[in-house]
């Protein structure tokens, strides 16, 4: 079993929510692979227009029939309890219990995922098949949970670069047993952080593992100054299903990260979609007051696959091949970001003589010598301080790496400067 798939399977049984012990344990396990700085934000703290809620923890929950059999059992799947359910201990008929039961009539064998973060209520999720087999009762109903003052927890991993400017990778870590949404993204981000740390980087990379919506809002509220350093960013989710990559552009629509992902994906099956204020935490980073250049990278997007927010989103649903492909997309995009610079031609009057500087000879061993020669001419022609290497690659139709290598050779030769 691969490293990423093993992490998905290890995290899958934990009962995560926007607060609580399952969230902390998730961050502890991620912290075994990459060091995390943990932040705890107390209940009642004002974060932008929101308030940190009470902390929720749960030990057990069930519905028992008259024979003592657990018809619905939290121990079997943490999806069986509506997230943030208040404590319950009662004997009820099916008629009394029915308003608190949630099923998927169109998919009778599956258990749905439901939450009630900001309204103090309770409920159970079960398959329609289980519900159809329940008699009039009575049933013993028990939810052994607590909802009390505590903290919201999030974790950060920072890879320092030569520049204080940052690339943000954000994942939500609040969902319980859902492998694609959200654990595949967590696994890819964890592996990505380890890969990026192997070499010195221009940018500083910040990985944020936080509960959805309220977590990113809390981070933004506590990091207004730092948020201004973010030059590029992605929200990573739904990273392990078999669908092709989907990239949702930032609110700006033409941010460098938007152009880079379009460039990296152009020769493979993919979908590009424009920004909308619905989805994952990109809508917080792209709120108009911040307007950060943050897009969202998924495979099949939010709510776009039948297994979404159901018990079918299990570890067998995500594949190692898909997670590796998502990882490769991120690595390639960040390599373009790292090398994308804007240069000025220091010999702009006429074409400089490349032969006497040994530049043509330096390309002799390349299999793409002709492309590399053309790339040098394009870089020299377009390096007027207004066109980046990505601009030049797109206009010339030459691969970005070839253009970036040409720019480096010209830089060493003293013909361009950054």
Helix (H, G, I), strand (E, B) or coil at 72: strand
Q: Which of 2, 22, 24 is nearest to 84 (CA)?
A: 22
157 is known to lie in a ligand binding site: no
Using alpha carbons only, give the angle 376, 377, 383 rounded to the nearest 5 degrees. Answer: 85
Give the C-alpha separation, 321 to 341, whole Å: 32
5 is in an annotated binding site: no
User: For 260, phi and psi rounded to 5 degrees?
Assistant: -65, -45
Closest CA to 389 of 369, 373, 368, 407: 407
| Burial track 279-313 (b if 16+ CB lie within 10 A, e otherwise) | bbbbbbbbbeebebbbbbbbbbbbeebebbbbbbb
- Vertex 111: Cα angle to 105 and 112 (nearest 5): 80
C-alpha–C-alpha distance, residues 283 and 375, integer Å: 38
The 139-148 sheet, strands edge to edge = 70-73, 55-64, 139-148, 88-92
Residue 175 annotated as binding site? yes
Burial classification of residue 67, based on how many CB atoms lie within 10 Å of its CB (0-12 exposed, 13-18 middle, 19 or more buried): exposed
CA-nearest of 346, 240, 224, 358 to 287 is: 224
Nearest to 187 by CA among 323, 297, 316, 318: 323
Annotated binding site for Zn(2+): which residue ranges?
A: 175, 181, 309
Q: Which residues fall in the annotated binding site?
A: 175, 181, 309
């Amino acid at each position: 079993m691969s490293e990423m798939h093993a992490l998905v399977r290890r995290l899958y049984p934990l009962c995560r929510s926007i607060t609580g012990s399952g969230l902390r344990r998730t961050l502890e396990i991620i912290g075994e692979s990459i060091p995390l700085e943990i932040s705890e934000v107390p209940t009642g703290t004002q974060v932008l227009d929101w308030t940190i809620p009470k902390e929720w923890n749960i030990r057990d929950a069930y519905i028992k029939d008259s024979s003592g059999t657990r018809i619905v059992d939290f121990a079997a799947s943490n999806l069986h309890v509506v997230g943030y359910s208040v404590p319950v201990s009662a004997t009820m008929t099916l008629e009394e219990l029915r308003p608190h039961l949630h099923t998927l009539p169109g998919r009778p064998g599956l258990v749905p995922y439901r939450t009630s973060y900001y309204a103090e209520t309770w409920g159970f999720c079960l398959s329609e098949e289980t519900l159809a087999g329940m008699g009039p009762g009575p049933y013993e109903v028990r939810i052994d949970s607590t909802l009390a003052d505590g903290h919201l927890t999030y974790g950060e991993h920072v890879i320092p670069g030569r520049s204080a400017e940052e690339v943000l990778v954000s994942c939500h870590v609040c969902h319980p047993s859902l492998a694609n949404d959200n654990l595949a993204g967590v696994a890819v981000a964890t592996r990505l952080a380890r890969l990026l740390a192997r070499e010195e980087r221009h940018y500083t990379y910040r990985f944020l593992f936080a509960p959805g919506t309220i977590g990113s809002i809390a981070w933004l509220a506590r990091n207004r100054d730092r948020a201004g350093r973010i030059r590029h960013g992605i929200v990573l989710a739904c990273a392990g299903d078999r669908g092709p990559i989907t990239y949702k552009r930032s609110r700006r629509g033409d941010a460098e990260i938007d152009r880079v992902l379009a460039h990296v994906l152009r020769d493979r099956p993919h979908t590009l979609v424009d920004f909308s204020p619905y989805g994952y935490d990109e809508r917080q980073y792209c709120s108009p007051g911040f307007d950060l250049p943050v897009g969202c990278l998924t495979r099949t997007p939010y709510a776009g696959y039948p297994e979404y927010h159901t018990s079918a989103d299990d570890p067998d649903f995500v594949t190692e091949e898909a997670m590796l492909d998502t990882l490769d997309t991120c690595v390639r995009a960040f390599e373009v970001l790292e090398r994308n610079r804007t240069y000025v031609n220091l010999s702009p009057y006429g074409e400089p003589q490349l032969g006497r500087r040994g530049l043509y000879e330096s390309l002799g061993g390349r299999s793409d010598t002709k492309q590399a020669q053309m790339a040098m001419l394009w870089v020299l022609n377009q390096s007027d301080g207004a066109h980046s290497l990505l601009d030049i690659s797109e206009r010339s139709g030459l691969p970005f790496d070839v253009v970036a290598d040409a720019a480096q050779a010209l830089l060493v030769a003293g013909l361009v400067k950054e």
